Each structure stands twice: as structure tokens, then as C-alpha cells.
Structure 1
Amino acid sequence: MLNKWKPFSFLAKPHVCSLLSSLTFFKPSVSVARLVEEEPSLSHSPKDPVSEILSGLKKMGFRRFLAGDYFRNVVLSLDQLQVDKIINSLRVESPDFAVVFFDLMRNEYRFRHSRFSRFVVAHVLAGQRRHEELRFVVEQMLKEEGSGSAPSLCELLLNGFRDWDQKSLVWDMLAFVYSRFEMVHDALYVLAKMKDLKLRASILTYNSLLYNLRHAYIMWDVYNEIKVAGATQSKQTNSIVIDGLCSQSKLQDAVSFLRETEAKGLGPSVVSLNTIMSRYCKLGFTDVAKSFFCMMLKYGLLPDAYSYNILIHGLCIAGSMEEALEFTSDMEKHGVEPDIVTYNILMKGFDLLGQMGGAWMVIQRMLDKGLNPDVVTYLMLICGHCQNGNVKQGLKLQEEMLSRGFQLSALSYSVLLRSLCKIGQVHEALVLFYEMENHGVEPDHITYSILIHGLCKQGEVQSALLLYKETWSKSIPPNSYSSGAILLSLCKNGMVSEARMYLDSLVMNDCAHDIVLYNIMIDGYVKHGNLEEAVVLYRLITEKGITPTTVTFNSLIYGFCKRRNFTEARRLMETIRLLGLEPTAVTYTTLMNAYCKDGNLRCMLELLQEMHANGIRPTHVTYTVIIKGLCKQRKLQEAVQLLEDMRIKGLNPDQVTYNTIIQCFCKARNIKTAFKLLNEMWLNNLKPTPVTYSILINGLCVYGNLKDANKLLIYLHEQNIKLTRVGYTQIIKAHCVKGDVHCAFMFFHLMMEMGFEISIKDYTAVINRLCKRCLMTEAQQFFSIMLFHGISPDQEICEALLDAYQQCGDIISGYQMLALTVKAGLLPRR
């Protein structure tokens, strides 16, 4: 619908006002009554409104006629062809009138001009060198025409405007605007037509096209075209080419191009040198970047803040904070003031090193310079504190952002939420999440993924599922990360059937295209012993056309290995290759571990040779499995040699590797070598685990000296090194067997001190051993301690005490024990 016309409002533009003031048709002395008399009669419809309008404009004057009732009534009925005739006729008599009439129809009556009218006005504006208005007309046309319109527009120019003046400038502007609108193919088409017509494009058009093509190899074709066309290259041209070469990772070509332009007398620009410096810094070659900074000074070019910031950023990433600060000082000495970006870069450098003190020092410098922290500053501070585990400080900074009126983003909340979930404070994260919505910050799929993953890690699957449903209600489709977290959590908690129902719901909602989700489900089935369902699901995904991965097969191979079905496991390994995939170290290690448990050392070593032949590097887990297999065959020296081979190949044995071989030496009664391996762990900066010490204590108790076991455990207790429950129970049992009840009591007490939960089985084990040695007083003491701690006796303890009292001839204590047993609701079996 056309807007209501406002008289002469189109004259508000200065160039239009100045134009109309000089029009010969304008006669201010003519009265309004005279104007009405001269206006064409409205009593009948004109046969040719174009002729009437042109006649009225010539007879009455431009401004008067357009203000009259006749024009205002007839204008609404004009079509594109009629307007084309009016504009073309005005172009011949007075080009300025054509432009004003064109603007009036477009701006006041929202008239949609034809391509012809636009090109007519474009040629008029080109002739008057009104470049900005020419560009505006072409831009409006191309916004409506869109991509792929170049062939038809070029055909119109060729057929309708071939012999017009200033056609070269119109063609050039058309190519330029296509390029600016990133319609590259259209721009190239126009340039090709210009070449056929022997019309020269401007360097501005070429530069614009080069810029859009700087990431593509075709950039060189355009650059060669510039040279062939003889267009005068500018420093901007060279800067764009250098930027393109750098973005295409052709840094050496960029440097060579810079030297070529230098040889031609075209010195480098600050922009070109900044681009090369930036690329070298990103690759970690800060020293090379500094040489180009020196080149800048050599050519008398003044480095800007961006130049300094590039080098400062490179030095910060390299961890050279001292040199980065020196460059900042040098920057100020040369009259270039550090900006907020400079200080944010320095802060990022300190954050990467975990030196929050340095980051706050930078903040103080920034404040001293009168600069206030921006959103980026706060975000980096929040990230830095959160990475250092100081979430509390991160939350304080966010509160400060709110108090200063900054608009919070989902990013800052995501950083805080991730940190809270990482330290297990998921409920605090949920509080912050709902606070986020109260502050008008819409959570995105990343925010939800972080929370869902955090809840799943805490085992709160139901809460995670509620959040998952919330994402659907807010039209935020969950990603595979959050869906995978829920699926994995359900499987880990043994809720395999619920996990399958969840996967089926994802399939129904068309959200299960990711093989990772199926891999989780297959692995869940396998780990919980349901290999049949895993195989069924594997067949289902192949029928759906979803390509399985090596991870899929690894899970299935593990399942068949658990069933000791080595034939099927080996067949699956061949299937991996048939599908164009490669078995991984995990594939081989899984199968080797199964052979190890089966005692088949030969097949295990054959698989190791196959790994080497196929170029698959064994991991430290692979070697741990082989060491375990060698130890089971009592080939301890070969196991030790393999430990050395691991280090030679750059693989560091972990605690599990050492625990495996230490346990084997303990069983071989070679306690001395076992402790030698313990010292070796310390020498290699590998901290022994509680399991390591428990293995050694067990070895000393069973195969060595109980006194040494006592000394080791007491030393560990003094050093606050916690053992496993097995370590304590083993030494307690050993002292009970020896009849040393005092030591058994002492270590039992230490075990309770260390916070271990004492079960009925622990008491049963001790009391049974004491009863067998007829140490009834001591057994009764342990029984009393058990009752004191609220643990009710079971059938086994009561019968052990009754039997012991009977064997010792203590009939009274036996009857008392029998009464206590009946009172506890337990009846003796005999």
C-alpha cells in the first residue's frame, strides 16, 4: 500500500533542493488560482497520462505540477512502462529532472522501478560523477534482484545501453556492488562481459573481488587479470593478496610476494606487515615476527596499536610475559597508547600461566590509565579464577559486572556452571542457572549440556532428564553431548532397559543420527552381560545405514572375549578391516587381555607382533597386559625387561603396571625386588597408590616378615598415607593367626581412625581366627566392640563362639552366648 503523500517532503535532501532552485520551469510569481486554471482538466481521463505529465511539467514547471491534484490522482495508476517513458524523456530534456522524478516515485510513492529506469538513472548519475548516489541505486537494484541475476542484467545493458555515454562506469559499479554483496560469481560474470566489450574495471572493484576470494585459489586468477588489464595496483591490493596467502597457509609465498612488490618500488604497508607478523605469531615464531616489526621501522612506517598487540599477544601465548610487558612500555615510549585490547591480551597471558596476581596487576595499570574493564576483561578474569578452582571469586566478578550495568552473556554463565559442576557443586550450578534466566539471559544448548552432564556425573539422572525435556519445550534441540551423557549415566547405574527406552525416544524424534549414542548403548549392554542385545542393536544400525566405528567393534570384541569366544572376536577384527576401518591399540589390547586370562601367552605375543607389523603403537596398557601374562607364567625377568623396553619406546609405565609386577614378585617371595620396584616408582616421579602399599603389606604378611609389615603400616599412618581396607584387614588377620591380639587390636583401631566403614565380615574374620586359637577373652572383646558400634551379630559369629566355648569347656559362657543368640533372634543350627 502506498503511503499518504506529503507535499514536497522529498525536497528535504540538500542536493534536490539546490537542483530545484535552479529549474527554469519554476515561476514563483504565478498565483495558485492561475495554477489551477492551467492544470489539465480532471473531468475526463487522459488518453495518454505520459504525454499529459510531460506536457504539464514543461508548461507549468516541475514543482507546481507535482504539487497539483492531477498528478496526485494519476500517479497511483502509473505502471512501470509509463514511468520508464517519463524518466527516459526527462533524461533527454534535463537529466536532473529524471533523477528527481525517479527519487520522488521511489521515496514518496514507494514505486518499484523497472531495471530500465534504474539503469537510465545510473547512467545519468555516472555522467555527473555522483558516485555515492550511483552506488545506492545499483545496491537497491541488486538487493531486489539477488544472486544469479548478472546474466539478465548484462543482457539488458548490452541491448539497451550499448552506445550510451558513461557505460564503463555503470558496468564497473555493477561488478563492484556484486562483489561487495559477496555475489562473487555474478561479479566475475560482469567482469568477463566487460573484458569482451573492452571496458576497464577499476582497482576498487578488483580489490573488492580479491578480498572476497582471498581464501580461495582463484584469487591468483583475479590478480593476474589485474596485471593483464593494466589496472594500477594499490597498496591495498598487495595487502589483500598477502592476507589471502597467509589465510591459505602459504606464508613463504606471502613473504616472497612482499619482496617482489618491494623490488618494484612498492614499499610494504603497515597492514601487510601486520598480517605476516600475525601469522608467524600464531605459528609460534615470535622471533621471526619481531624481524618484520623491525622492517616496519626500517621503511619509516609507524607501528600502530594493532602492530604492538600482535607481538604482545604472540609473546603472551609463548609465556614470555616479561618481554610482553617490555613491548608495552616501548609502545608508550613511541607515543602509541596501549588500549583495552592490549591490557586484555596481557591478562590472558597471565591467566594461561595461572598467575592471577599478574592479571590483577594489569587491571591496576589499566585503571591508572583511565581505562575501564570491558566485558572481555571480566570474562577473562572469571575464566582465570575458575581454571584455578576459585569459583567463588568468579561469582563475585559476575556480581560486579551486574552492578556496573554490563549485559551478562550465556558464555560467562557457562564458564561458571562448568566450574561448579567440575568440583561437584551441581546444586549450586542449578541455582545459578535459574538466576541466569531471571537476569534475562537465555540459556543455549551449551548451557543445558553442561548441566545435564554435571547431573549425570553425580548420578542424578532423573534431574538430568527433566532438564532434557525443558530443552524441547524451549525449542532448543539437545546435542549429542548431553544426550550421550544421559545415556552413559543410565548405563553406568545399571539402568540398561531405561537407557534403551531413552535411545528409542531419540530415534523417534529423529535425534539419533550420531553413532556415538549407539556405541554407548552397545557398550552398556556388553558391560552388563547382555551380549545378545548388543549384537541385535549392531545389526539394527547397519540396516539403518549408520556406519559403525572401531569403537563399536571394540565393545563387541570385549563382550565375546568375556564369553571366551575368541573365534567370533577374531572374526570381528577382520570385519573392521573389511569396512575400511583400522583396529586400534584398544582392539588388540582387549583381545590380548582375554588371551592373558586364558593363559595363552603364545597368541598374546603373536598379537603384539601383528600390532607392530600393522604400524599400531602399543600403549602402556598393552604392555601392562603383556607383563601380567608373563608374570602368570612366572617369567619375571622378561616382565622386568619389558618394563625397560617401555621407557626406551617413550611409554611411561603407570601405577597399574608397577602394581602388577610388584604383586608377582611378592607371590614369588621376592620381597626385596618388590621394594626395589617401589623405589623405582619414586625415582620416576610416579606416586605409589594405596593399592601398591596394600600389595606390599600383604606380601610381607604372607611371604615375608610380619614385623616389617607393622613398621611399613605405622610409617604410612604417620605420613597420613591411606591404605585400602584390604591392607588393614590383611595385617589384622595375620596377627590373629600369630596370636598377637594386641597388634590386631591396634591395627583394627587404626583402620577405624582412617574412616573405613567396618562391616560384619571384618568382625567375623577376626573373631573366627581368635576362636580357632581358643583366645576366647579376646574374641569376646571384639564381640563387645561390635555390639558397641551397633552391629548386630550374625549366625556365623554366634556359632563360631558357641563352638569355641564348647571346645574350651567353658559351659557357662557357652550358655550365656546361646541366650544372647536367641535374644538376637538367631537360632543355632544344632
Structure 2
Amino acid sequence: MVDDALFVLAKMKDLGIRASIMTYNNLFVNLRHTNIMWDVYEEIKASGTPQSEYTNCILIDGLCRQSLFQEAVVFLRESERTESMPTVASFNSLISRFCKVGYIDVAKSFFCMMFKYGLLPDAYSYNILIHGLCIAGSMEEALEFTDDMEKHGVEPDVVTYNILAKGFRLLGIMGGVSEIIRQMKLKGLDPNIVTYTILMCGHCQTGNIEKVFELREEMFSHGFQLNDIAYSVLLSSLCKKGRAGEALSLLHEMESVGLKPDLVTYSILIHGLCKQGEIQKAIQLYNEMLSNAIFPNSFVHSAILLGLSEKGTLSEARTFFDALKKSDLMEDIVLYNIMIYRYAKLGKIGEAAQLYKEIIEEGITPSIVTFNSLIYGYCKSRKLAEAKTWLDTINANGLVPTAVTYTTLMNALCEEGDIHGMFEVLSEMEAKAVEPTNVTYTVVIKGLCKRQRLQESLQLLDSMHAKGISPDEITYNTIIHCFCKNQDMRKAFQLHNEMLHHNLQPSSVTYNILINGLCVNRDLKEADRFFSFLLDQNIRLTKTAYLTLIKAHCAKGDACKADALFRQMVEKGFEISIRDYSAVINRLSKKNLTTNMKGFLRMMLFDGISLDQEICLVVLNAFRRVGDLNSEFELLAVTIKHGLLPD
């Protein structure tokens, strides 16, 4: 009620009642964010009211709060000329504001200037400067100022130690945090709620959720009640660990101790639930927010829309999207981008284009993500000519195509076999000074491999390393697969070794490609040796690696080895389906290994997997070829009984 306060001040003047400097200062403090501050200051001077030491301090603080730093410094110097000695509080305001905007060196110069005026910095002076240094990551200098603090007879307090602990926590140095708290306790200072919150944040950062809960219990034992920040930290940690159910229980605990969840609390939980696919629970919380008059922001709406589109159905996502549109809750382009991408991914490019039309009609500015999604959709629908036209639209909207834009187009052209077109897009990308990523290079390598230009693909791989762009396992897998197809297993394994040399761990796909390459190239002994070597190295192989080797031994007629590998695969805990049994039985039937077929049939039935028509026909034909009529009629009776034979 600023106008009313000023009216009362004017009325006092009319009645000849002289306002005290305390009255002016109180008014002054509450006008620090406005230009009216100057009017009140002129009024003080005109009234002849003697100023207190806080008057100039309030004005300097107000100028700093309005980011008028130069004016604040000028005023400080003018006050010096008028023999009005600057106070520690005035310097603290300047130091604080310069630290907040990142001008630490300027803040330090004002700190040193205090000594020039014969002023001794207080604990607050030191704390704000130490805080600025910690935020800037200058922990060594922050610790030096802490030592200087003690040399000048100013004892570091709990705030000082909390600031230092937070500085180490921001750098992820939990050892430093522990050491600061140890020193704090040696000084006879007890950790407070802020100390515990900093510790909890640090352990959340490192993923040590169990330590966080230990600290929680320690807080309770010292009589501390968790505040809303501490609860938010815990909720966030649980959600990141995929423990959204426990986070919900914690929410109820929070409410039971009288703390009301705010927008941040709900946002954390809703995002965590959506990531876990618990969409309905997320929507329940969303409705609870609304009933508590807490209005969701774009982050919440995005989380639910993403969850519905990824874990739910597209129609559910569209219903929610339309409801937001109807309620005028479309704050920005983000929600449109989510829907456009989802339509594009599902090949519904017509719907995606329609939403883009709506964006333009509504006067919403599209982002580069919007266009990248549309280009991806047209590429997925194999409408490459239309996809290319969106590049012009991007430029027309004042945006710059990204590496994702060009790479998406290049990949589509590569898939279509248009390698020339792919290189044209790459040339345009380089001409526009858009740096290719490792994904871009992988696409180019894939295109070169399709054309059997293997040496060029290797040269490009070397070029990536030279430019400081690290190829990932997909890049290497692409080339390794190509050399395996060309029966050059020596080079394929050289590339595998090169991965290890660059500290890049081959993936299970890499091993599958190499094992398959050895099997296809009829080097089954080497495939067995390599497979055994990987097991000895405790490398986790997938079911695909086992099945590849099993099928190869079946095709060779080595049913015993196939049987041993199959049993080993079962022992490893892989889920075995009827398709896996079918693949093995089919290959054994081609070799007329009926005895082994029977063994696999028994194993299959023992595992509780029922026969299907395909397996029955394969086995019956095999029995017929070898003249095993008894087995044939026996199985025929079973198939007829279970209705597995066609009419």
C-alpha cells in the first residue's frame, strides 16, 4: 500500500508533524525496488531530518537491487565527500550484489576498501564474499578468506561452514564436505537443518540414496524436522532411482507433519511417475494439485503428455493435449513439439503437419525441434522430397538447421540407397558451418559400407579421431558388420581391438556380430574359442549369441554341442520361447537328427511350452523322411488330439 503510505507522509507534513528518520528509513526500505526511492531521499534532505547511518546504506542497497551498480558506487564516493562515513553495511550491500552477478574481483576490491576506511569486515562481510567464491568454484580462495577471517578476530559461524560445505557439494567433492563438517564440530558448532540439507543434496547427487535416509534418521534423533527443501531432495532422489512408490509414501509423510506440497514437490513426483509409466497415478496427483489451487506449469504438462504418448495410447495423449488447448494452457511450443514428434514417429505425418498449421494460425513461434520432428516424420514416411523443402521453411522462420536436421535427412537418403544425395546434404551442412556429430559420421559410414567403399569408411573413422569426435559402439558395429559380411574377419577383429584401445567397451551387439560373422564364414572352431574366451572374461552375452552358435552347430550336424549350448543358455536364466525351440528343431530336422529332435521336444514340454502346428509339421516330415513310422504315428496322434494339424 505504497500510495497510502506516501499519502500519510504528506498529511503529516500538512499538519506540521515532522517524520523521524526511523519513519523515513522504514518507508525507504520498502521502496528499494522502485524509482520512488529517490523522491523519498530528496524529501529527507529537504525536510532537514538528520540521517542515520542506515539511510545511505538503504539507498546503496536499493541501487544495487535495481542493478544500478555504477550509480551505487558514485553515491558511495559522494557520501565520502560530504563527510558521511560509509558503513560496513553499505559495503556489504555492494559486495553482495557484485558477487550475485558474478563480479567476484570487484567484490574483493570493495572488501579490501573497507580496511582503507578503517572499517573491520564483520561475519556477514566474510560470508557473502566466501559464498561468492564458492559459487564460482574458487574453493581454495574461499578457504583462504576463512583463515583471514579468524586472523582478524572474526569467528566463522555455522553459516560460514554451511557455505563452504555447499561449495564442495556443488563440485561433487563429498570428502571436502565431510572435512568442513568435521572442522565445524571441532569448533563446538552443531550442524543445523541447512547443514543436513546440504549433505542430503550431496549424497543424492552421487546416487547414495541409503546415506540420505541415514541422515534423515540422524536429523530426527537431533530433534530436527525435515523442511520442504529436504523433502524435495528426498523425493527427487527416489524418483531418479525409479522408486516413485516410496516417493508417494514420503509425500503422505510430508503432509502428515503439516508441510503442504508446492508446485516443485508435485512436479518432481509427477515427472518421476510418468518416467516409470505410472501415468494414472501421475494424473491423480495432477488433479490433486488443481484441487489444492496449485496451478501446473509447462514442466508438469510436458511430463504427463510425454508419459501418455510413450506409455499410454496416442488417443489418450491427444485428449489431454486438446483439453489443455481448450483451457488456454498452451504456454509455449513444447507441448506441440511432443505431439508432433509422437505423430511423426508413428508415421502419422498428416496429423503432425496439421498441428504445425495450427501453430502458425495461433501465432506460436515454432522451434528447431518442431521442424526436426516434421523432417523425421516425412523421412519415415519416405517422402524425402517434402522433407527437403522444410529446410527452406526453417530458414524462413529465422532458425538455423542443426546437426540433427541434416543427419535425419542423410540417414533417410542412405536408407533409400541415395548415397549421392546423402553426400550433397553433408556438403550443405559443412557449407553452413554446422559441425557433424558422431551420429552424422556413423550415417555416412553406413552409406559407404552399403556401397562396399570399406577403405573410405576406415578413413572417415580415422578422420573422426583426428577431429576429436569419438566414435561410439554403433559406429564401430556398422563397420565391423560390413567387414564380417565381406568375410574379412581379420579386419573385423582389428576394429574390435581398436575399440578397446580407445577405452570403448564393445556392446553385446558387437559380440553378436563377430560370433555371427565367424559362424557364417564357416569358422566354427574359432567361433567356439571366441565364445569361451568371452565367458571366461565374465562378459555378459545375450541370448542371440547363444542361439547363433547353437544354430550353426545344428546346421553342421553337431547336435551334442548344440544341446550343451542350449542347456547352458537355459542355466544362465534366459527366457526361452517356442520360437527358440522351433529354430533349433527346424535345423535338426534338416539334418534328419530325429533322436536329438525328440530330446528337444521333451525339454520343451518339460519347460511347460506347448507344441504348435509349425513344430509338429517339421518333426512329422523329419520322421517320415527317415522312415520312423512309430514316432510319426505317435506324434500324429498327439497333434490330432490337440487340433494342431490343418484340415
TM-score when normalising by structure 2: 0.89
State how 1:377-456 maps to structure 2 within 5 Å. Answer: 377-456=195-274
* Residue 115 (1) aligns with residue 10 (2): yes
Aligned to 2:573: 755
Structure-2 change in CA distance of 1:440 and 1:240 (3 Å): closer
Aligned to 1:135: 21
Aligned to 2:35: 185
Check the 8 A contact 2:100/2:132 in 1, yes or no.
no
| Letter paired with 1:366 | M
Deviation track 1:758-817 (CA, whole Å, cap 9, x = no partner) reads 111111111111111111001111111111101111111101111111111111111111
**Following TM superposition, by how much is the alpha carbon of 1:402 offset from its aligned partner in structure 2, in angstroms?**
3.4
d(CA) in 2 for partners of 1:234 and 1:786? 94
Within the candidate set 34, 38, 60, 1:210 is matched to: 60
Within the candidate set 731, 743, 754, 2:549 is matched to: 731
Deviation track 1:601-645 (CA, whole Å, cap 9, x = no partner) reads 111111111111112111111111111111111111111111111
d(CA) in 2 for partners of 1:560 and 1:569? 5
| Letter paired with 1:483 | H
Deviation track 1:177-216 (CA, whole Å, cap 9, x = no partner) reads 5476226423434677999x99999797555433312355
| Letter paired with 2:529 | K
Check the 8 A contact 2:64/2:72 in 1, yes or no.
no
Structure-2 change in CA distance of 1:492 and 1:187 (3 Å): closer
Q: Which has the higher contact order (CA 8 A, sep 6+)?
A: 2
d(CA) in 2 for partners of 1:616 and 1:603? 18
d(CA) in 2 for partners of 1:556 and 1:586? 12
Within the candidate set 643, 650, 668, 2:468 is matched to: 650
State how 1:35-74 maps to structure 2 within 5 Å. Answer: none
Report SS of the residue matched to 2:347: coil
Structure-2 change in CA distance of 1:117 and 1:326 (3 Å): closer
Structure-2 change in CA distance of 1:201 and 1:612 (3 Å): farther
Check the 8 A contact 1:191/1:201 in 2, yes or no.
no
Aligned to 1:13: none
Within the candidate set 332, 335, 347, 1:529 is matched to: 347
State how 1:10-21 maps to structure 2 within 5 Å. Answer: none
Report SS of the residue matched to 1:213: helix
Aligned to 1:49: none
| Letter paired with 2:35 | H
**Following TM superposition, by how much is the alpha carbon of 1:701 offset from its aligned partner in structure 2, in angstroms?**
0.7
Aligned to 1:372: 190
**Following TM superposition, by how much is the alpha carbon of 1:557 offset from its aligned partner in structure 2, in angstroms?**
0.7
d(CA) in 1 for partners of 2:94 and 2:156? 29
Check the 8 A contact 1:305/1:337 in 2, yes or no.
yes
**Following TM superposition, by how much is the alpha carbon of 1:337 offset from its aligned partner in structure 2, in angstroms?**
2.9
TM-score when normalising by structure 1: 0.70
State how 1:160-199 maps to structure 2 within 5 Å. Answer: 177-178=27-28, 181-182=31-32, 184-189=34-39
d(CA) in 2 for partners of 1:791 and 1:563? 39
Structure-2 change in CA distance of 1:609 and 1:797 (3 Å): same
Aligned to 2:327: 509
Aligned to 1:234: 85
d(CA) in 2 for partners of 1:605 and 1:435? 59
Deviation track 1:647-697 (CA, whole Å, cap 9, x = no partner) reads 222211111111111111111111111111111111111111111111111
Report SS of the residue matched to 1:713: helix
**Following TM superposition, by how much is the alpha carbon of 1:493 offset from its aligned partner in structure 2, in angstroms?**
2.7
Structure-2 change in CA distance of 1:396 and 1:204 (3 Å): closer
d(CA) in 2 for partners of 1:631 and 1:485? 40
Aligned to 1:560: 378
Within the candidate set 608, 622, 641, 1:804 is matched to: 622
Structure-2 change in CA distance of 1:207 and 1:523 (3 Å): same
Aligned residues, how many? 637
| Letter paired with 1:211 | D
Aligned to 2:456: 638
* Residue 464 (1) aligns with residue 464 (2): no
Deviation track 1:733-769 (CA, whole Å, cap 9, x = no partner) reads 1110001112211221222233221111111111111
Q: Which runs of 5+ in 2 are unaligned?
A: 1-6
| Letter paired with 2:85 | S
**Following TM superposition, by how much is the alpha carbon of 1:731 offset from its aligned partner in structure 2, in angstroms?**
1.0
Check the 8 A contact 1:494/1:528 in 2, yes or no.
no
d(CA) in 1 for partners of 2:398 and 2:277? 38
d(CA) in 2 for partners of 1:713 and 1:802? 34
Structure-2 change in CA distance of 1:313 and 1:491 (3 Å): same
Q: Calculate the aligned-residue CA RMSD, in Å.
A: 3.3
Check the 8 A contact 2:457/2:479 in 1, yes or no.
yes
Deviation track 1:260-279 (CA, whole Å, cap 9, x = no partner) reads xxxxxxxx655x57xxxxxx
- Identical columns (%): 51
Structure-2 change in CA distance of 1:661 and 1:189 (3 Å): same
Q: Which runs of 5+ in 1 are unaligned?
A: 1-111, 124-132, 141-176, 259-267, 274-295
Check the 8 A contact 1:560/1:566 in 2, yes or no.
yes
d(CA) in 2 for partners of 1:352 and 1:240? 25
- Specify the structure having the higher radius of gyration (Cα): 1
Within the candidate set 719, 741, 755, 2:537 is matched to: 719
Aligned to 2:3: none
Per mean C-alpha deviation after superposition, the further-off stretch among 595-604 and 197-206 is: 197-206
Aligned to 1:612: 430
d(CA) in 2 for partners of 1:194 and 1:136? 11
Report SS of the residue matched to 1:214: helix
**Following TM superposition, by how much is the alpha carbon of 1:334 offset from its aligned partner in structure 2, in angstroms?**
6.0
d(CA) in 1 for partners of 2:91 and 2:154? 26
* Residue 492 (1) aligns with residue 342 (2): no
* Residue 775 (1) aligns with residue 625 (2): no
d(CA) in 1 for partners of 2:97 and 2:575? 67
